């Protein structure tokens, strides 16, 4: 793939304020990417809806680079991504294996890993005529990765593919590999947070994590969703009784999990920082999608009772 480090730096400069990158980070990133042995990024998809990639790909800007496809395909060395890479079939899996052999690489994983049926609920590519399952792919590439980044709740904790009776036996990356992972949960993961994490890993910066693998900077900087919500009754909000009457009102009676969810979601979705473009801003109760307990057995739209520890 074509590599233009200048574009990536430009993107980061544009987004630095919203994703917490400093000028020093950006200068260091430019220096690292200028080296011929800069890490590549290998992105595997397991059991998922591809929503995290779609969320990332839907990131748009009025100025160049205009979208995340431009950033990823022209700015960092993304050697394998099933949704956006130009190669297909055995040529794409050959590129994956060549990039891994050349190393170093950061392994990004989206989706859970099914273990039932010998892993064949999720075949991710064919290599030398052999159908490779997600389980095999993760076991093949995780040991050699400089770092493993789990994008979305499915790869981080199991998420929706793991819900209910979990008929395909989905596990998360850490359960399968035994390796620590940096988790960027969310259903989907916030694209700005994904970029922030990739940049930190390429720079080799330490990323302090909480007990379930999430960067403290992204998930614990501000307290709970509820503490930062403009609809909080403690700051004058009023509780809605139903969806027909919920505009600008607190959604606690409609299933909001904001009191039990920690992340800096407020006003930082869809590239529209500070414009109310987040779940609660569009009258959708917080589903707690960044928590290991997501989705849980309850309806999203009934008052939430957290599971016993
Ligand atoms: S809408 Fe949710 S996060 Fe906001 S105040 Fe109500 S319960 Fe808390
Ligand atoms: S507000 Fe809640 S449901 Fe929405 S992205 Fe944040 S954690 Fe997920």
Residue that is written with structure tokens 């979990």 in the block: 166
| Residues 264, 197 share a domain | no
The CA 37 to ligand 2 mean position distance, Å, reads: 37
pLDDT, tens only, 211-222 = 999 999 999 988
- The residue whose C-alpha atom lies closest to atom 6 belonging to ligand 1 is 250
For residue 159, give Cα distances in angstroms to 133, 152, 153, 173: 19, 8, 5, 12
Asked if the model's pLDDT at residue 14 lies above 60, the reply is: no
pLDDT of the residue at 238: 95
Task: Kindly state whether residues 213 and 246 are assigned to the same domain.
Answer: no
Q: Rounded to the nearest whole angstrom, what is the distance from the C-alpha of residue 257 to the centroid of ligand 1?
A: 8
Asked whether residue 298 falls in the same domain as residue 229, the answer is yes
State which of 234, 235, 238, 280 you would mutate to test the pocket of ligand 1, scoring each by most atoms of that ligand within 8 A of its C-beta: 280
278 lines ligand 2 (CB under 6 A): yes
Domain range for residue 243?
222-309
Give the number of the ligand closest to the Cα of residue 226: 1
CATH of the domain at 234: 4.10.480.10
* Rounded Cα distance, 219 and 61, in Å: 25
Tell me: do 120 and 257 sit in the same domain. Answer: no
Is-contact 295 287, C-beta < 8 A?
Answer: yes
Residue 118 and residue 22 share a domain? yes
261 Cβ inside 6 Å of ligand 2: yes
Final residue in a domain of this structure, among 196, 217, 238 = 217
Rounded to whole angstroms, how far apart are CA atoms 307 and 309? Answer: 6
CA-closest candidate to residue 146, choices 90, 204, 186, 59: 204
- 189 in contact with ligand 2, CB cutoff 6 A: no
Could you tell me if the CB of 290 is within 6 A of ligand 2? yes
Domain check: are 94 and 144 in the same one?
yes
Among 190, 217, 244, where does a domain finish? 217
Minimal-distance CA residue to ligand 2 atom 8: 289
281 with 190, same domain: the answer is: no
183 and 67 belong to one structural domain: yes
Find where tokens 């095999």 sit.
136
Residues 110 and 184 in one domain: yes
Name, of 96-105, 135-144, 260-269, the range with top average pLDDT.
Answer: 135-144
Counting residues of the chain whose pLDDT is more than 90, the rounded percentage is 60
What does the pLDDT average to over 279-308?
A: 92
Residues 70-125 have pLDDT tens digits of 555 555 677 888 887 888 899 999 999 999 999 899 999 999 999 999 999 999 99
Q: Which of 217, 247, 276 is the last residue of a domain?
A: 217
- The total domain count for the chain is 2
């Amino acid at each position: 793939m074509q590599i233009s480090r200048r574009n990536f730096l430009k993107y980061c400069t544009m987004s630095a304020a919203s994703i917490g990158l400093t000028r020093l980070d950006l200068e260091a990133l430019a220096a690292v990417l200028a080296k011929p042995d800069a890490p590549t990024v290998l992105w595997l998809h397991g059991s998922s809806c591809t929503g995290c990639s779609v969320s990332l790909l839907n990131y748009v800007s009025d100025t160049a680079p205009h979208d995340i496809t431009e950033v990823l395909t022209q700015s960092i060395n993304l050697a394998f991504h099933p949704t956006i890479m130009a190669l297909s079939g055995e040529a794409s899996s050959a590129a994956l294996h060549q990039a891994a052999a050349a190393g170093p690489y950061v392994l990004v994983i989206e989706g859970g890993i099914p273990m039932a049926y010998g892993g064949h609920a999720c075949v991710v590519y064919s290599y030398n005529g052999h159908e490779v399952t997600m389980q095999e792919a993760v076991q093949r590439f995780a040991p050699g990765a400089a770092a493993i980044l789990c994008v979305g709740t499915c790869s981080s904790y199991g998420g929706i593919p793991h819900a209910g009776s979990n008929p395909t036996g989905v596990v998360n990356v850490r359960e399968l590999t035994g390796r620590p992972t940096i988790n960027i949960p969310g259903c989907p993961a916030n694209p700005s947070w994904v970029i922030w994490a990739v940049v930190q890993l390429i720079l080799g910066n330490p990323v302090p994590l909480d007990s379930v693998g999430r960067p403290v900077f992204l998930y614990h900087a501000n307290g709970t969703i509820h503490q930062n919500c403009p609809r909080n009754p403690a700051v004058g909000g009023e509780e809605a009784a139903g969806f027909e009457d919920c505009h600008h009102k607190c959604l606690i009676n409609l299933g909001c999990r904001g009191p039990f969810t920690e992340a800096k979601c407020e006003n930082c979705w869809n590239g529209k920082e500070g414009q109310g473009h987040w779940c609660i801003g569009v009258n959708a109760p917080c589903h707690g999608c960044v928590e290991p307990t997501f989705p849980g057995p309850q309806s999203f739209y009934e008052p939430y009772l957290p599971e016993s520890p």
